Structure 1
Amino acid sequence: MTTRYAALLRGINVGGHRKVPMPELRELLTELGHGDVATYLQSGNAVFNSASDDEKALTTALERAIHRRFGFAVDCVVRSGPYLRAVADDCPFPADRLEARQLHVTYFSEPVGPERLASIHAEAYLPEEFRLGDRVLYLYAPNGLGRSKLAEALGRPSLFKDIVATTRNWNTVVKLVELTRD
């Protein structure tokens, strides 16, 4: 039996740096023994089937293979299709009534407790808001991520220095759910 996964690569193909061409990423995932490999956009989203049920092992193998192939480290988060569906279903904001540019999900490599974000005074950023979920943070930014002061505060390296965090807009969240359906 196989499971459908998404691999979320952090910080590639931005501004001409850390280039990972999607055809080469698909080839790499296939070489790792995964099936039905596909990519979405150029920003580091891949889906694949695997007989493994160990997301951490899949992540480590992919990160090592990327480093060997491209010569630089790329942080990754690998999550199963059912997990991605649960993240979308559990969204605390009215996703069906918002523009995709207003809603983002940050996927974490490990659980994040509220104590980690205690220094963020959420009321100072209203109407922007965030909520924690299962290894994710949901961000509502009515004027988009690029203008979000809350996103800037949440992006401080000291908040998540020991875990991988990678953000996707709502359109990508929904598309990854679609691409990982069994």
Structure 2
Amino acid sequence: MKSYTAILRGINVAGQKKVKMTDLKTLYESMGFKNVVTYIQSGNIIFDSDIDEIENIKTQIETGINHKYDFEVPVDVRTSAEFACILDVMPFDDIDLDVDGTKVLITFLSEQPSKSKKQALQEYAKAPERLLFGDQCIYLHCPNGYGKTKLSNVFIENKLGMIATTRNLKSVTKLVELSKN
């Protein structure tokens, strides 16, 4: 049995696609997932599964949500070890989690973008912002706040032509911590 971390895109935002975490936990358990833990209302779930194919897990979760709630929600699923690795190799080693934990974001990408798409997106990062690509993710530091950057999740999706889901460093750190319990 492996531990996985799933993050849902676009639920409980501005009153749209409302999903209670207690209901989501029950849904995951009804699909056979074990040791299900949710974290905050934005759709972060840690769980165990015997299924080895991440694409099968992703499809099962997306289908289950669609059947229960009658709307589609993109889901990013990674092993908890892969999720932790994304945090471990974060290139911003000068960040204080307590001070800037909400100004550093990790955008999880549905696929690895091409070199040309990476270069095109990089041009939109304006100092003092920093944008660096990782393994199927983007590390983004917005010292003036995420609400003030052009590099929103929707903007990144549009420029890269793929699904993206963004979480701040505090949330990612907490999810990694929870996955180790």
Relative to the length of structure 2, the TM-score reads 0.91
- Structure 1 position 21, deviation (Å): 1.0
| Alignment partner of 1:45 is 2:44 | yes
Deviation per residue, 1:15-41 (Å, 9 max, x gap): 111111111110110011000001000
Mapped partners of 1:14, 1:95: distance in 2: 31
* Alignment CA distance shift 1:153-1:23 (3 Å): closer
In structure 2, stretches of 5+ residues that fail to align are none
Please say if residues 3 and 47 of structure 2, whose CA atoms lie closer than 8 Å, have aligned partners that are also in contact: yes
Mapped to 2, the partners of 1:123 and 1:13 lie a distance apart of 28
Partner residue, 1:140:
141
2:54 equivalent in structure 1: 55
Structure 1 residue runs without a partner (length 5+): none
Give the aligned partner of residue 130 of structure 1.
131
Instruction: Report the secondary structure of 2:46's partner residue.
Output: strand
- Using a 3 Å threshold, how does the CA distance of structure 1 residues 97 and 25 change in structure 2: closer, same or farther? same
Q: CA 1:37–1:115 in 2, change beyond 3 Å: closer, same or farther?
A: same
Q: Which moved more, 1:35-44 or 1:121-130?
A: 121-130
**What is the aligned-residue RMSD (CA, Å)?**
1.9
Alpha carbons 2:105, 2:139 under 8 Å: kept: yes
Matches within 5 A, 1:87-102: 87-94=86-93, 96-97=95-96, 99-102=100-103
TM-score (ref. length: structure 1): 0.91
> Where does structure 1 differ by over 2 angstroms across 4 or more consecutive aligned residues?
95-98, 117-124
Please list, as runs of the form range in 1=range in 2, the aligned pairs for 1:31-180 lying within 5 A after superposition. 31-94=30-93, 96-97=95-96, 99-120=100-121, 122=123, 125-149=126-150, 151-152=151-152, 155-161=155-161, 163-180=162-179
Give aligned pairs, total: 179
- Shifted more, 107-116 versus 81-90: the winner is 107-116
